Structure formats: structure tokens, C-alpha cells
Amino acid sequence: MLTERTGLIVWVSDIKAAARHMEKYGSVHFISKRLHYVAMYVYADRLEETMKQLQRLPYVKKVERSYRNEIKTEYSSNIPDKTRFYTL
């Protein structure tokens, strides 16, 4: 059974320190050297305590929660399909 995970965006001042230490808090998905942020996934049931632990690190500026799993991805279209007018 899969465990529910939530994404976090962690804004950092020191990329090297973040690259070394972020793996123990969750799964690191991406590290941006140019924009100085780390995209990572953590377990949803430990989200609040992980965010507090990350905020205490000296090289962390800000921790933001990702709302990607709350965005509606099922769309309903009430507009008629116009592709039949463009066929040859």
C-alpha cells in the first residue's frame, strides 16, 4: 500500500549544505542551483513536524507547502467539440 506524500519547496541560502542534509527529511526530487530551492516529498502524516525541523536549519530561508495534490484534475467540458469543422 502506498503512503500519502506531500511536496515541499524549501528556499535555501546554501545549496551545498542543502544537498548534503535534505535527504534525511524526505525524498529530494530537484535542487535548483540558480534559484536556490529544493523540491522534495515528505510523508503527509509527518508534514508539520518536518516543516518545523526544516525551518530550524540555519541555511533554510522559507518552507512552502505544495498544493499540487489539491488541484482539480478532472475537467468537464460544456463547450461542443469543434474539431469536426476542421477536418478535410
Q: Cα(52)–Cα(54) distance, rounded to whole angstroms? A: 5
* Residue labelled with grid coordinates 478535410: 88
Q: Cα(19)–Cα(23) distance, rounded to whole angstroms? A: 8
pLDDT per position as a tens digit, 33-87:
999 999 999 999 999 999 999 999 999 999 999 888 778 777 777 776 677 776 6
Please give the model's pTM, rounded to 2 decimal places: 0.76
* Residue labelled with grid coordinates 542534509: 21
Evaluate whether 25 touches 40 at the Cβ level (below 8 Å): yes
- Cα 1 to chain center, whole Å? 22
